[in-house]
Chain A
Amino acid sequence: MQAEFLFAILLLAPLIGFIINGLRWKSKNYLLAGSIATGAVAISFIAAVLVVMKLFGADAPKAVTVEYFKWMAVGGLEVPVAFVIDHISALMVLVVTGVGTLIHLFSIGYMSHDERPSKYFAYLNFFLFNMLLLILGENLLLMFVGWEGVGLCSYLLIGFWFSDKEKAAAGMKAFVTNRIGDAGFLLGIFTIFFLLGTVSFDEIISKVAGMPVEVGWSGPITLAALFLFIGAMGKSAQIPLYVWLPDAMAGPTPVSALIHAATMVTAGVYMIVRLSPLFILAPNALHVVAVVGAATAVFAATIGITQFDIKKVLAYSTVSQLGFMFLACGVGAFGAAMFHLVTHAFFKALMFLGSGSVIHAMHEEQDIRKMGGLKKYLPITHATFVVGWIAIIGIPPFAGFFSKDEILWKAFSSPLGHKGLWAAGVIGAACTAFYMTRLMALTFWGKPRFDEHKTHPHEAPPSMAIPLIVLAILSAIGGFMGIPHVIGEILPGHPGNWLEHWLAGSIAAPAGEAHGSAIMEWILMGISVSIAGLAALLAFSFYVIEPDRPKQWAARLPGLHRLLENKYFVDEFYFERIINPLVSGSKALWAFVDVNFIDRATFVVGDFVRGMGSTARTLQTGNMQQYALYISIAIALMFVYLLEGPKRLAELFGG
């Protein structure tokens, strides 16, 4: 089939779904709304698969590109509405539409009791449309359109239950924080445009191909890379702009799964991978990316240890995992970042949906202190959740093991890597294992801590169970697409690293020799797996075997516990140090600059004129004789002027 046609279906199906559901927004028929939306995304998925098929084969093109019309053409700026599926966006588009379909399906059951299911599905479809624009857009500007569009949908969906002030506020926080990133993204676009004269990915990559690697901080490419990374920080919730993501859990749980775990938040990683030939020329910018990524990975993971809201734990986990992806980008392992992006999409979507199933079963209860022992009530959810758990803590041969280990290995061995980065990654992985085990323990294992007579948890309906099972399977086997060489060699048939091969032509690699040998790789792999395993065991002993121990430890380290429980007081800091001063400063601007200065100044001018008027007014007495006197004096002066000339007049007045 024609590529133009397929792309049109791929993009327009969700948009049409949005319009249909949007027009019948008042309808309460969740089944119909859900079917339309799910169908739209499924159609999109099929179209995506059909396009991606074109990339396979011996003489397949490297990319399928279509162009529809010119969006904007001003001066040297030409922005066509053009889309591309190449080896990078192919992965992403399949994940987004595939996982998207599953989450849509899950939503039908989850939103069955909601007042406005049509509106919900309309937003969800609109999100997908924007996400596709972001992924498929052939130029930076089109990507930006999708970039802001997904932010908007995220805003709408976080604040979906807007009658709750907190939730509306969370939506706004997300949008504004993202906007800070977007501002950086815009500056990045400008820098690139004025440097290279184009915004098309294809042309950017071909133009930077011959450029030398920049040293120092002030080069244009470094600047552009840093600006773009600010954009990525906002969208992908990195320090210091991560604060919106935990709050974003105010939205319906499938939204958290789709937008705030699997797809939208990975857009930053995707963008950096997409522009990897540009980033690789700016090693200093990459160092920043790596350090921020590693810091976020550890920072968010430590917060995750003390959270009690099931979704918040997962949210901090997402922030932390995104940190891993940026760590990978920062050390030049763009393939590893992409790999982790895909596996993370599987297992994190799975866990979010699982938590949705739990919350649904517990009648909107999200506090894990009030759960426990759900294993017997929710067998399917538990089983799938276990798969996700094993995957995320990195136990072989589940998906997370392969991708996380590749990142850690690259952080160690890449020419851009550093032992410190590797160590940070391992600490992050250990914390991850700890809090995930804790989450499992408090939610599913141990004794129920809720009233079993009042609450009757019930297993999810099939429409919710099927996505869980599919995602569990993907989480289990997803890692096999990127088997490391050292493992591949010992396996029968010597499977190669398919993903590396697939991405090889599309992404850049750092110049220079990788250090470290195969033995080293085995050793490091052993270290990271065993540390993660130990951390998981520790958590198991803390929360299942001796449930009193956490409290003792919290009492022993009160300062640390308080710091973690309050998320390092970052929100408070932002509020006290940035938002409050901004608001009171603006009030001061209004009161002092506008009202008391500018207005006062204009009044002074007015008063001056009025004062002159009232002075002049005293001359007008109405006394005829006085007027006659003025006239006489004036006539006399005129005579003097006529007779003596201006010179004499000047003398008379001493001028």
Chain B
Amino acid sequence: MLLSLIVFMPLVSAILISLLPKENWIRPTALFLGLAQFVVSLVLFAQYDPSTPALQLVEFVPWVPALGVSYFLGIDGISFWLVLLTTFLLPVVILGSWTAIDKKPKGFHIALFVLQTAMLGSFVAMDLVLFYVFFELSLVPMYFIVGIWGGTRRIYATTKFFIYTMLGSLLMLLAIIYLMFTAQEVLPAKQMTANILELYKLDIPFIAGQFLNPQTLLFFAFSVAFAIKVPMFPFHTWLPDAHVEAPTPGSVVLAGVMLKMGSYGFLRFVIPLFPEASEHYAWVFLFLGVVGIIYGALVAMVQPDVKKLVAYSSVSHMGYVMMGLFALNTYGVTGSIYQMLNHGISTGALFLLVGMIYERTHSREIEKYGGLAKVLPIFTILFFIVTLSSIAVPMTNGFVGEFLILLGAFEASMFFGSLAVIGVVLGAVYMLWMFKRMFFGEEGELVSDKKHPLHDLSLREMVVMAPLIVLIFWMGLLPNQFLQYSKVSVEHLVSTKDAYQLSIHTPQPESDAQLAFGMKFFKSVAQAPEAK
């Protein structure tokens, strides 16, 4: 019940917001609702048992029995942190966009909450069709967020974003249908199913060295869909456009959570469903990962627009994630999961900070800044800390992820692992160069403009940044506290990926007082969890 509550609470919130009569109630209400769903998601800590790789907090209700499609939710170590990251970022984003979104605030917040449901849904859906529904649903609100509240070229950007992602997911849809039919033929139940736990049992034929065989084709169909979402080089060109045109909160959610839906897809579906193909074609992804890291960094280096720079840095960081995933060992995969969280936090924070300065000067051109450090000291300190996290300096979160990924990649392939290390240098180059040009040196034209003196961060903005900064250090100094929640699941995945199975954790008794209210509300909607 808890998962349904987490997933659908934002949707209910969206409805509530749509009923609000006055415009100036919207933001406080949205913030309250956002915080509320975050608090609810914290109950996961009490309910989740990190000592088992089994699927937990399972909910299973048949949806379209004839096709074997069901409403099937569950959570394990792979999705645990992503769910929390998603719920954590929402209130941050709402508070961060307090003044940035000045037109149609109601529509904006509704879109934000619907998006939240879609993203959370895709992280906990354990049924391929259900996953697909959530995965696609997430496009719609983002389409409007960029298309309505975006910059001057917003229509171009949002259309590009939509079509790119849609194209990939259609391939995936075909693959899903194929899998469902295969399940009907092969599995003992002789019944079509989209249940991912059942599909894990499939042994899809694979012929090494040949392209036209079921597993390879399915593998690439899924991979392209997720690679576009990640985005992995060379499918990345939608990202800079979307980020530059998106409003700050849109960028934060896009970079913070939506990109992870792609990398999560690899981890949940691609690697366990197509283990032989994953292993056989791992080098492709290691290669593209390295190219993404270096290419993203180089192109980021020469961007004149700071937001575009951050966008390309995302390409570079997600390159690390891909490398870690396809290192296919504990270090790499753990590092990838960690890097997904890091990227969500530090790139999210970077976008927020860029948004804050944009609100003041209405320009994102690096050349027009300079000497900000003297004028906006607090802003500078925060920006610097986030920069450090982005370039993976030890004691910040970035280091742990990057180190583990590189370690894993080095084990998988010494050649690619060594190449990827170049990214460590280039990361420092583009971030520090940008930092130098914006914050150091003489005051630029925007900074020295005496008619519009710049004000340092307001209390609200500091409150927005505070949790992110705390997490940057917390995750860097005490990574074990975070790693232990995904440890067992990752080890289970890596050690048994050739015959991956997930069992269902015995559901807990429904006696939690904290949840009594929520459960009463949802009891009519969904049934008690039952094992199939």
A contact residues vs B (CB 8 Å cutoff): 70-75, 77, 141, 144-145, 148-149, 152, 155, 159, 162-165, 168-169, 171-172, 175-176, 179-180, 182-184, 186-187, 190-191, 193-194, 582-583, 585-587, 589-590, 593-594, 598-599, 602, 606
Contact = CB atoms under 8 A, between A and B. Distances in A.
Interface in B325-360: 329-331, 334-335
Contacts of B411: 190, 194
Given A168-B436, A183-B425, A190-B407, A144 B301 contact: no
Contacts of B399: 145, 148
A75 B404 CA distance: 10
Contact of A169 (B301, B424, B436): B436
B395 A594 contact: no
B299 A71 contact: no
B442 A165 contact: yes
Contacts of A152: 388, 393
B237 A598 contact: yes
A583 B299 CA distance: 9
Contacts of A602: 160, 164, 237
B435 to A, nearest CB: 8
B480 A176 contact: no
A179 B428 contact: yes
B480 A594 contact: no
B299 A590 contact: yes
Given A176-B428, A589-B298, A72 B400 contact: yes
B329 A180 contact: no
A190 B334 CA distance: 16
Contacts of A164: 441
B237 A172 contact: no
Closest 8 CB pairs of A and B: A168-B440, A75-B330, A586-B298, A145-B394, A165-B441, A162-B440, A190-B410, A183-B421
B50 to A, nearest CB: 13
Contact of B432 (A163, A175, A190): A175
Contact of A193 (B407, B483, B491): B407
Contacts of B330: 74-75
B406 interface: yes
A162 B373 contact: yes
A601 B160 CA distance: 13
A155 B429 CA distance: 13
11 contacts: A149-B394, A163-B440, A171-B436, A176-B428, A176-B432, A183-B425, A187-B418, A190-B407, A586-B301, A589-B295, A602-B237
B394 to A, nearest CB: 4
- Which of B302, B411, B422, B491 lies at the interface centre, i.e. has the most chain A CB atoms within 10 A of its CB? B302
A590 B425 contact: no
A133 to B, nearest CB: 9
Interface string B395-406: 100011001101
Interface in B122-170: 160, 163-164
Contacts of A587: 302
B123 to A, nearest CB: 22
Contacts of B302: 583, 586-587, 590
B487 interface: yes
Given A75-B330, A144-B394, A582 B298 contact: yes
Nearest to A116: B377
A583 B374 CA distance: 28
A71 B432 contact: no
A279 B494 CA distance: 35
Given A190-B406, A585-B298, 15 more contacts: A72-B480, A73-B480, A74-B487, A75-B329, A144-B394, A162-B373, A163-B371, A168-B440, A176-B425, A176-B428, A179-B428, A194-B410, A586-B301, A590-B299, A593-B295
Contacts of B240: 594
A165 B443 CA distance: 10
A265 to B, nearest CB: 19
B417 interface: yes
Nearest to B391: A179
B234 interface: yes
Contacts of B429: 176, 179
B479 interface: yes
Nearest to B432: A172
A539 B322 CA distance: 60
Contacts of B236: 598
Given A186-B406, A589-B299, A599 B237 contact: yes
B472 to A, nearest CB: 14
A74 B301 contact: no
A171 B417 CA distance: 28
B439 interface: yes
B211 interface: no
Contacts of B234: 598
B441 to A, nearest CB: 4
Contacts of A75: 329-331, 334, 491
Contacts of B432: 155, 172, 175-176
Contacts of B407: 77, 190, 193
A156 to B, nearest CB: 9
Nearest to A600: B237
A592 to B, nearest CB: 11
Contacts of B491: 75
Contacts of A190: 406-407, 410-411, 417
Given A163-B374, A163-B441, A149 B428 contact: no
A165 B370 CA distance: 10
A56 to B, nearest CB: 33
Contacts of B394: 144-145, 148-149
A179 B424 contact: yes
B524 to A, nearest CB: 44
A75 B492 CA distance: 11
A184 B483 CA distance: 26
Contact of B441 (A168, A175, A582): A168
A184 B436 CA distance: 25
A155 B240 CA distance: 30
A586 B299 contact: yes
Contacts of A162: 373, 439-441
B494 to A, nearest CB: 8
A140 to B, nearest CB: 11
A599 B235 CA distance: 9
B522 interface: no
Nearest to B381: A25
Contacts of B440: 159, 162-163, 165, 168
Given A145-B394, A163-B371, A190-B407, A74 B442 contact: no
B393 A148 contact: yes
Contacts of B436: 168-169, 171-172
B62 to A, nearest CB: 38
B25 interface: no
A144 B421 CA distance: 15
Contacts of A74: 330-331, 334-335, 404, 483, 487
A471 B417 CA distance: 46
A191 B439 CA distance: 38
B75 to A, nearest CB: 21
B433 interface: yes
A180 B480 contact: no
Contact of B479 (A71, A149, A175, A191): A71
Contacts of A144: 394
A175 B426 CA distance: 11
Nearest to A590: B299
Nearest to A25: B377
Nearest to A178: B428
Contacts of B480: 70-73
Given A168-B441, A586-B302, A72 B428 contact: no
Nearest to B477: A71
A186 B421 contact: yes
Contacts of B164: 602
B347 to A, nearest CB: 19
A149 B441 contact: no
